Amino acid sequence: MQLSRDDLKRAYRSMFTIRTFEERVVKEFAQGNIPGFAHVYLGQEASGVGVCFDLSNDDYIGSTHRGHGHCIAKGCDVHGMMLEIMGKEGGLCGGKGGSMHIADMSKGMLGANAIVGGSPPIAVGAALTQKLKGTGKVAVAFSGDGASNQGTTFEALNMAVVLKVPAIFVFENNGYGEHTASSYAVGGPSIVERAKSFGMPGEVVDGSDFFAVREAMGRALERGRANEGPYALEIVCSRFTGHFVGDPQAYRLPEEVAKAKANDPIPRFRNAVTEAALLEHADLDAIEQEVLAEVEDAVQVGMAANRPSLSTLEKDVYVRY
Amino acid sequence: MAKKSYRQAINDALRQEMRRDPNVIVLGEDVAGGHGASGETGGVGGVFGLTGGLYKEFGPTRVLDTPISESAIIGAASGAAVTGMRPVAEIMFVDFVGVCFDQIYNQAAKFRYMFGGKAKTPMVIRTAIGAGFRGGAQHSQTLHPLFTMVPGLKVVMPANPYDAKGLLISAIRDDDPVIFMESKVLYDMEGEVPDEAYRIPFGEANIVREGKDLTFVAFGAMVPRALAVANTLAAEGISVEVIDPRTTSPLDEDTILESVAKTGRLVVIDESPPRCGLAADISSLVADKGFRSLKAPIGKVTCPHTPVPFAPNLEDEFMPNPRRIEEAARAVLAYS
C-alpha cells in the first residue's frame, strides 16, 4: 500500500519520538532522575515503527525489557511513559510498573516484559482471543535474539501453529543478548529458520529500513487478518548502545558501533523520502521541533510530578494480610 | 438433592459456566483428546475425565487441545484472559508447574498490580494435587504453599463435591487468576450437589464440625481425614471443631481465630512439607493474633521433609494419616 504524505510524517514522527525519548532517558538516567535501570531502543526505531505502523488499538503487542520504542510505536502517551519510567504519580501504570513493565490496555499494549521469552506465550493467547471472537485482529510478540533461545518461545511458536492463531512473532535480532553476541548464542542458520521449522512462513528483514519492515509486516498482517495462522519476522537491526544504560560495552569494538550508526534508520528514512520528493526537509525539521518540545515537556512534567501516594502501595490487590 | 462425585461436580460447573458465558473456554492437554488419531476425537475428556463430554457439546473452539507445552498453555490462557476471554486451563498434575511457573507468578499474577490496576486476568488454572495415588515423586505433590505466597493469585482447595462445584463457579467468574487445586484422592468422593449453578465465596471457611475442646484446621483431602479423627475422639467425649478454610488465599482468618478463642487448642493438618507450608502459616497466624487464646503449643501434622515416596507403605506414612493426626491431637489435649 502506498503511503500518503501524512503517513510518512506519522512514521517519521514516531521514529524520531523514540529517538528523542530514549536519548533523554539516557541523559535523565545519568543524572539520577530515573530509578533502577533502563534498556533503550536507540538504533532499532524502524523496526518497532514498521511493525506497529498498520496496527490499530485493537491489535495487540507484547514487548520486551527494551520496550519503550514498542510503546511509542503503538501509540502510548509519551508523558505517561516518562512519568512511569521516573516512578511518578500519573504514570501509565501509576508508577507500579516502571521501565520494564509499561503497559496500556487501551492501546493494545500488553506490557513490556522483563522476562526474556515472557511475551510469546501471552501473545498466543491474545491471538487466540482474536480468532475465537473473529475480530480479524492480530497479536504481535516482540522478542530479541536472546528470547529466541528460550523454551517458552519454542512452545509459543508451536502452539500458534497448532491452534492456527493470528500471532506474529517479531524477532528483533540486534546482534546481542545482553553482552553476548547472537553469533555465539543462537545455534543453527538463523532465527527465522527456527520459526519456519514449526510450520509458519517467515522472512528476514533489514531493520534499518522502515519501508522494508512495514512491507514484510504487511505480509504477516495479510495472513493474520485472514485467520490463516502465524508468521515470523527476523528483523536484523543494531543496538547503538549497550545492554542497559551505562553499559561500558568493552565487548564491542568502536568500529562495530560506528558501522551500525552509519546505517542509522532515521537519516536513512529522511534521505529516502526527500530524494524521492515525497517530503521536504522542512516538513521533517518541523516534526523534529515538535517532538523535541513534547519530550522536553514530558521530562519537565515528570520531574515536577509527585511520587505515587503511599496509599497506593496496597491498591490493586485482592487481599491484604 | 442429587448425589454426585467430586469429579461430576467439577464437570457440572465447567459445563454450566460454558453454557452461560461464551467467553469461557477450556484448554489443556487432552481436555478433548484423540486429535489426529485414527479413532474418536474428543472422547478422552482429560486424563482424569474432568472435562468429559465438553468437546462434544461445545466443539473445538471452546475445548482446545494443546501440545504438551505448559508454558504456552498458561501464557495462552493469560493472554486470552487480558483480551476478553475467561479461560480455564488445565495443568494435568500440579507437579508440572515447574515448567511453566514463570507464566504464572511473573506474568498472570502480576498484571493487575504491575499495570496499575488497568488489566484484568480472569483465568482459572485447574490442577490435580496430592499423594495417595501411587504416582511417585513427580505426580503426587500438593504445592499449594508455592501459590499461596504469590501476591495476585487466589488459591482454592475444595474438600468435597458441593464445595468443588460452588468454588469452581466462583473461580470462573472471578477477575483474578485462580489456582483451583483438585485433590486426586477425592475425585470419586460422593456428596449432595445441587443441579443448578451456585457460588461459594472465597475467603469463607467451612465449619465442617462444631466442637469446644480442640480445633482442627485442615485443607483439601486432609479435611475428611481430620473429620474422621474428630468423630473417633467424639466417642471418648472429646469435642473437636473441624475447620476447612476452602481457600488458602484469601484466608478466612477470623473463623480460625474465633475457633481457637473457643477451644484454646489447635492442630493444623496439611499435606505439604513442614517448612513454609500452610501448617506453619496457620500456626504463625494464631501465634500472632490468637496468642492469648492458646492453652497448649500448636500441633502440626504435615508430610515429612522428603519427596513423595512410591512404595505404598511409605506413601501412606508420608501423608498425614489418621494415626498421626490422632497422636497430635492427644498431645495437644494432654498439655496443661
With beta carbons less than 8 A apart as the criterion, state whether A230 and A168 touch. Answer: yes
Write phi, then psi, for B45 (nearest 5 degrees): 65, 40
**Gap from B123 CA to chain A (nearest CA, Å):** 12
Q: What is the pLDDT of residue A24?
A: 98
> Per residue in B242-263, pLDDT tens?
999 999 999 999 999 999 999 9
Nearest to A152 among B71, B112, B176 (CB): B71
Residue of A nearest to B89 (CA): A125
Please give the grid coordinates belonging to residue B183.
485433590
- Residues A269-273, mean pLDDT to the nearest whole number: 97
Residue B143 lies in a domain: yes
Query: Where is the domain boundary, B192, B218, B248?
Result: B192
Say what percent of chain B tops pLDDT 70: 100
**Gap from B155 CA to chain A (nearest CA, Å):** 12
Quick one: which of B159, B130, B163 has its CA closest to B13? B163
With beta carbons less than 8 A apart as the criterion, state whether B152 and A317 touch. Answer: yes
What is the residue type of B270? D
Residue of B nearest to A62 (CA): B79
CA-CA distance, B9 to B318, in Å (whole number)?
A: 29
With beta carbons less than 8 A apart as the criterion, state whether B26 and B64 touch. Answer: yes
Residue of B nearest to A113 (CA): B107
| B83 with A124: Cβ contact below 8 A | no
Q: What is the pLDDT of residue B201?
A: 98
| A152 with B83: Cβ contact below 8 A | no
Determine whether B139 is an active site residue: yes
For strands B3-5 and B190-192, give the pairing. Answer: antiparallel
Write phi, then psi, for B160 (nearest 5 degrees): -160, 165
pLDDT at B281 over 70: yes
Contacts of B119 in chain A (CB under 8 A): 103, 105, 111
> Per residue in A44-86, pLDDT tens?
999 999 999 999 999 999 999 999 999 999 999 999 999 999 9
Could you tell me if A125 lies within 8 Å of chain B, comparing CB atoms? Answer: yes
User: Which residues in A63-89 are b (16+ Cβ under 10 Å) and which e?
Assistant: bbbbbbbbbbbbbbbbbbbbbbbbbbe
For strands A139-144 and A60-62, give the pairing. Answer: parallel
Q: What is the pLDDT of residue B86?
A: 98
CATH assignment of the domain containing B8: 3.40.50.970
pLDDT at B29 over 70: yes
Q: Which domain holds residue B305?
A: 206-334
Q: Say if residue B170 is in the same domain as residue B262.
A: no
Q: Say if residue B219 is in the same domain as residue B250.
A: yes
Is the C-alpha dihedral spanning A226, A228, A234, A240 positive or negative?
positive
**Gap from B51 CA to chain A (nearest CA, Å):** 19
Residue B199 lies in a domain: no
Partner B, chain A 239-268, Cβ-Cβ below 8 Å: none
More confidently predicted of B220 and B336: B220
> Per residue in B306-322, pLDDT tens?
999 999 999 999 999 99
Quick one: which of A191, A188, A284, A287 has its CA closest to A237? A191
**Gap from A208 CA to chain B (nearest CA, Å):** 30
Q: Say if residue B138 is in the same domain as residue B285.
A: no
| A121 with B115: Cβ contact below 8 A | no
Could you tell me if A123 lies within 8 Å of chain B, comparing CB atoms? Answer: yes
| A159 with B66: Cβ contact below 8 A | yes
Q: Say if residue B310 is in the same domain as residue B225.
A: yes
Q: What is the pLDDT of residue B200?
A: 98
Contacts of A127 in chain B (CB under 8 A): 79
Contacts of B150 in chain A (CB under 8 A): none
Q: What is the pLDDT of residue B1?
A: 80
Q: Say if residue B7 is in the same domain as residue B155.
A: yes
Question: Can you name the residues that pair with B178 across neighbouring β-strands?
Answer: B124, B154
Q: Say if residue B33 is in the same domain as residue B63.
A: yes
Residue B302 lies in a domain: yes
Q: Say if residue B106 is in the same domain as residue B181.
A: yes
> Per residue in A215-231, pLDDT tens?
999 999 999 999 999 99
- Interface with chain B: mutation pick from A83, A128, A158, highest number of B CBs within 10 Å: A128
> Per residue in B58-78, pLDDT tens?
999 999 999 999 999 999 999
Query: Where is the domain boundary, B168, B192, B216?
Result: B192
Please give the grid coordinates belonging to residue A177.
543478548
* Interface A-B: count of C-beta contacts within 8 A: 151
- Interface with chain B: mutation pick from A60, A119, A318, A321, highest number of B CBs within 10 Å: A318
Residue B28 DSSP SS3: strand
In sequence order, the 6+-apart residues with CB closer than 8 A to the CB of B124 are B86, B87, B88, B89, B168, B171, B172, B174, B177, B178, B180
Q: Say if residue B267 is in the same domain as residue B156.
A: no
Q: Say if residue B67 is in the same domain as residue B123.
A: yes
Helix, strand, coil fractions of chain B, as percent rounded to 5: 40, 20, 45
Q: What is the pLDDT of residue B96?
A: 97
Residue B197 lies in a domain: no
Residue of A nearest to B289 (CA): A321
Please state the domain extents for chain A. Answer: 5-312
Instruction: Give the pLDDT band (50/70/90) at residue A267.
Output: very high
Contacts of B106 in chain A (CB under 8 A): 115, 118
In sequence order, the 6+-apart residues with CB closer than 8 A to the CB of B15 are B53, B54, B57
Please give the grid coordinates belonging to residue B11.
464437570
Fold of A5-312: Rossmann fold (3.40.50)
Query: Where is the domain boundary, B136, B167, B192?
Result: B192
Q: Say if residue B177 is in the same domain as residue B211.
A: no
Q: Say if residue B18 is in the same domain as residue B108.
A: yes
Residue B298 lies in a domain: yes
| B76 with A94: Cβ contact below 8 A | no
| B114 with A122: Cβ contact below 8 A | no
What is the residue type of A166? P
The 3-state secondary structure of A271-289 reads: HHHHHCCCCCHHHHHHHHH
State pTM to two decimals: 0.96
| A118 with B78: Cβ contact below 8 A | no
Please give the grid coordinates belonging to residue B299.
500441633
**Gap from A316 CA to chain B (nearest CA, Å):** 5
Could you tell me if A227 lies within 8 Å of chain B, comparing CB atoms? Answer: no
Q: What is the mean pLDDT of chain A?
A: 97
Residue B234 lies in a domain: yes
Q: What is the pLDDT of residue A2?
A: 82
Residue B200 lies in a domain: no
**Gap from A321 CA to chain B (nearest CA, Å):** 9
Residue B244 DSSP SS3: strand
Instruction: Give the pLDDT band (50/70/90) at residue A1.
Output: low
The single-letter DSSP state of residue A214 is: H
CA-only gyration radius of chain A, Å: 19
Q: Say if residue B108 is in the same domain as residue B237.
A: no
| B176 with A318: Cβ contact below 8 A | yes
- Other CB atoms within 10 A of residue B267 CB: 30
Instruction: Give the pLDDT band (50/70/90) at residue B193.
Output: very high
> Per residue in A37-46, pLDDT tens?
999 999 999 9
CA-CA distance, B163 to B191, in Å (whole number)?
A: 10
Nearest to B116 among A94, A120, A125 (CB): A94
Nearest to A121 among B74, B81, B251 (CB): B74
User: Which residues in A120-158 are b (16+ Cβ under 10 Å) and which e?
Assistant: bbbbbbbbbbbbbeebebbbbbbbbbbbbbbebbbbbbb
**In total, how many domains does chain B have?**
2
Contacts of A115 in chain B (CB under 8 A): 102, 106-107
Residue B225 lies in a domain: yes
